[in-house]
Amino acid sequence: MAVKKSTAKKAVDVVEAKNAETKSQAEETPAIQITSVEEPERFCVYIGPSIRGVIQSGTIYGKSLKDTKAFLATAIKKYPLIGKLISTDKTIAEDRIKVKTAGNLLNVYYTKLASGKSN
């Protein structure tokens, strides 16, 4: 069973017309810009060493990083490295490894704070 050339040509013309119509509609329609909304931190964890009477290692704060640092302002003022050793829920897994890895910046902060140096 052979297809007539005229029928095949009409089918191709119809498809091309639909493609052209779709293309013109796409050009008329403004592009929708999708912006990602960052989720706020759900909690923070202090991953530094315990300092008697000041802060305990592993303490969880149910606030954002900004609010947690404001809450710990007096401790951070006395020991500035405490602020650098507060991890958010998004980075806690990597930060706990970095604290234990020699030569890493978080490990340096931890070691300085544990040895009694304030900054």
Q: What is the DSSP letter of 30?
A: P
Is residue 31, in this structure, part of any structural domain at all? Answer: no
Domain containing 51 equals 44-114
Is residue 26, in this structure, part of any structural domain at all? Answer: no
The pLDDT of residue 39 is 72
- In this prediction the pTM is 0.65
The pLDDT of residue 40 is 73
Residue 63 near residue 53 (C-beta atoms within 8 A): no
The pLDDT of residue 1 is 53
The tens-digit pLDDT sequence of the chain (119 residues) is 555 555 556 655 656 666 666 555 555 555 566 665 667 778 999 999 999 999 999 999 999 999 999 999 999 999 999 999 999 999 999 999 999 999 999 999 999 999 987 66
Residue 90 near residue 41 (C-beta atoms within 8 A): yes
Is residue 79, in this structure, part of any structural domain at all? Answer: yes
Count of the separate structural domains present in the chain = 1
β-bridge partners, 46 = 86
Is residue 18, in this structure, part of any structural domain at all? Answer: no
User: Cα–Cα distance between 107 and 101 in angstroms, integer?
Assistant: 6
Instruction: Give, to the nearest 10 degrees, the angle between helix 92-100 and helix 105-114.
Output: 60
β-bridge partners, 88 = 44
| Phi–psi pair at 87, nearest 5 degrees | -110, 145
